[in-house]
């Protein structure tokens, strides 16, 4: 299998076959991110994709799930994704779900008919890093789409029946705005009803605009206490059935839960960590070592 540069996939796709169709990230301008900062975006040639599928056919003929890498692979045109999906089903007929990272912009670039066709071909469970439901915070993070775009485009996926996971970050709005961020995220989640919600926590990566803004006093990170209280508030406010998928190592209290069934147990878990943690730690901004 051909892979170029750093490869990222959600923790939940650890046992999923990875097929490279793009290199790097098509946007690559987020204020906080360095994942593909030094990688020039490009699209893999179809003959290489087919060669990789032939190899996969020989090694993993019964695989049922495939994750397209890299970056926001859903940036590919509807036409190209259709060809790739058809090729996947030709070589790996047992595949049921074709998943990948996606952005709001990626959805905007496709017609309703194209989205419906991609659903028919098994594309679903898209991992969408919205990051925050708070408009000004979203603008600051420079994701390339507005909050109104997020509401509209996620509803387009719902109408087509394409399932998706809503990715967001605790602390994304900065110091003193945790409850505001929680309320905005919960409002968006309750509106668009994702299959799962996938929290991570904002951290500072060297060389980013975020790091520069912190150094210049233009942005102040939320404390550990604020992040944990935001986590609790988010859990309290989400009122639609969804999976809470929070095992990323960057989260202080990482766990999975089924909402609303496990809501009380999840909140109790975070409250316990707060009560069991030294005040000086709670009122500090910890160094996190992973995106």
Would 1-124 and 129-286 be classified into the same CATH topology? Answer: yes
Under 8 Å between Cβ of 178 and 228: no
Q: Which residues of 80-103 are buried (b: 16+ CB within 10 A; e: fewer)?
A: ebbbbbebbbebbeebeebbbbbb
For residues 30-39, give the mean pLDDT: 91
State the pLDDT confidence band at 28, using cuts at 50, 70 and 90. Answer: very high
For residues 2-18, give the mean pLDDT: 94
pLDDT tens digit sequence for 117-149: 999 999 999 999 999 999 999 999 999 999 999
Under 8 Å between Cβ of 267 and 236: yes
For residues 218-237, give the mean pLDDT: 98
Q: What angle do CA 200, 245, 234 make, to 5 degrees?
A: 65
For residues 244-259, give the mean pLDDT: 96
CATH topology of domain 1-124: Transcription Regulator spoIIAA (3.30.750)
Q: What is the pLDDT of residue 260?
A: 97
Domain locations in the chain as residue ranges = 1-124, 129-286
Checking if the pLDDT of 158 tops 80, the result is: yes
Displacement of CA 32 from its chain's centroid (Å): 14
Average pLDDT, the chain: 96
207: left (phi over 0), alpha (psi -120 to 50) or beta: left
User: Cβ–Cβ contacts within 10 Å for residue 105, how many?
Assistant: 17
State the pLDDT confidence band at 37, using cuts at 50, 70 and 90. Answer: confident
pLDDT tens digit sequence for 64-92: 999 999 999 999 999 999 999 999 999 99
The CATH number of domain 129-286 is 3.30.420.40? no
CA distance 69 to 81: 12
Checking if the pLDDT of 167 tops 80, the result is: yes
């Amino acid at each position: 299998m051909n892979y170029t540069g750093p490869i990222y996939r959600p923790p939940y796709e650890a046992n999923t076959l990875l097929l490279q169709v793009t290199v790097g990230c098509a946007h690559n301008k987020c204020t906080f991110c360095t994942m593909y900062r030094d990688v020039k975006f490009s699209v893999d040639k179809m003959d290489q994709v087919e060669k990789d599928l032939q190899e996969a056919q020989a090694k993993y003929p019964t695989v049922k799930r495939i994750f397209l890498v890299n970056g926001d692979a859903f940036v590919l045109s509807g036409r190209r994704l259709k060809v790739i999906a058809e090729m996947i089903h030709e070589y790996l007929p047992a595949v049921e779900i074709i998943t990948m990272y996606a952005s709001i912009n990626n959805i905007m670039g496709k017609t309703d008919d194209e989205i419906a066709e991609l659903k028919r071909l098994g594309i679903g469970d898209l991992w969408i890093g919205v990051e925050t439901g708070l408009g000004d915070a979203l603008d600051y993070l420079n994701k390339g789409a507005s909050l109104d775009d997020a509401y509209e485009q996620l509803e387009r996926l719902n109408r087509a029946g394409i399932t998706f996971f809503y990715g967001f970050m605790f602390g994304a709005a900065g110091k003193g705005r945790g409850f505001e961020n929680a309320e905005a995220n919960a409002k968006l989640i309750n509106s668009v009803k994702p299959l799962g919600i996938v929290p991570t926590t904002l951290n500072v990566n060297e060389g980013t605009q975020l790091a520069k803004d912190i150094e210049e006093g233009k942005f102040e990170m939320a404390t550990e206490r604020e992040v944990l209280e935001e986590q609790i508030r988010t859990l309290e406010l989400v009122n639609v059935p969804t999976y809470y998928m929070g095992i990323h190592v960057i989260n202080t209290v990482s766990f999975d839960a089924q909402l609303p069934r496990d809501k009380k147990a999840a909140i109790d878990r975070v409250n316990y960590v707060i009560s069991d943690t030294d005040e000086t730690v709670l009122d500090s901004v910890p160094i996190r070592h992973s995106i």
